[in-house]
Structures are given as structure tokens and as C-alpha cells.
């Protein structure tokens, strides 16, 4: 008798972002990326190597100012963009002049 055990748990890549963090960070919870744009670039790279890989981008507390429109292409199908809380994560389409 041969018994094969396996896991049905699906692997998910999680990318973390915190506005104002170090630009050299890697995207982990302890080393979050600096911008939504950087997270989308990393997500695209991960999807290129594994198109079926589910990816979640977590926006940690802060204000995120966009330099240009955010583009989510069909290659990022299934992407989740999750804020830490509706009152703690703000995305603005304008630059700060202060």
C-alpha cells in the first residue's frame, strides 16, 4: 500500500507596501515596498514566471500619492489590492505641494 499525502493549500504571494518606506525594500511585511507602482512591477514579474500564481498587494497605513494612473493589465488577472483599513489607507491622484 502506498500512501501519498499532499496539501491542497494554494500558495499566495503577498506583497506589502508602506508609503514613505525605504526605496530598496523587498516587499515583505518587514521590508515593505515604497509605492503601489513598485508593487505592481513586482507582481508582474512574479506572474511572468507563474501566470496562475495568486498575488495580494497589502497597502499598509498611510497616504499614497500617484504620479500617474495605475494600470492593472490582464496579465495580473486575480490580483487583490487590499488596504489595511478604509480610514487608514488613502490613495490620492495628486502630488503634495508641501
Q: Of 19, 27, 30, 3, whose CA–CA distance to 66 is shortest? A: 19
pLDDT band at 29 (very low <50, low <70, confident <90, very high): very high
Which percentage of the chain shows pLDDT scores above 70?
Answer: 83
42-58-68 Cα angle (round to 5):
60
pTM summary value: 0.81
Amino acid at each position: 500500500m502506498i500512501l501519498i499525502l499532499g496539501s491542497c493549500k494554494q500558495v499566495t504571494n503577498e506583497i506589502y507596501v508602506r508609503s514613505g518606506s525605504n526605496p530598496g525594500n523587498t516587499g515583505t511585511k518587514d521590508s515593505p515596498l515604497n509605492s503601489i507602482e513598485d508593487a505592481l512591477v513586482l507582481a508582474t514579474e512574479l506572474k511572468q514566471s507563474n501566470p496562475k500564481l495568486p498575488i495580494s498587494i497589502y497597502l499598509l497605513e498611510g497616504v499614497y500619492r500617484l504620479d500617474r494612473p495605475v494600470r492593472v493589465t490582464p496579465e495580473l488577472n486575480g490580483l487583490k489590492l487590499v488596504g489595511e483599513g478604509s480610514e487608514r489607507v488613502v490613495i490620492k491622484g495628486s502630488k503634495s505641494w508641501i
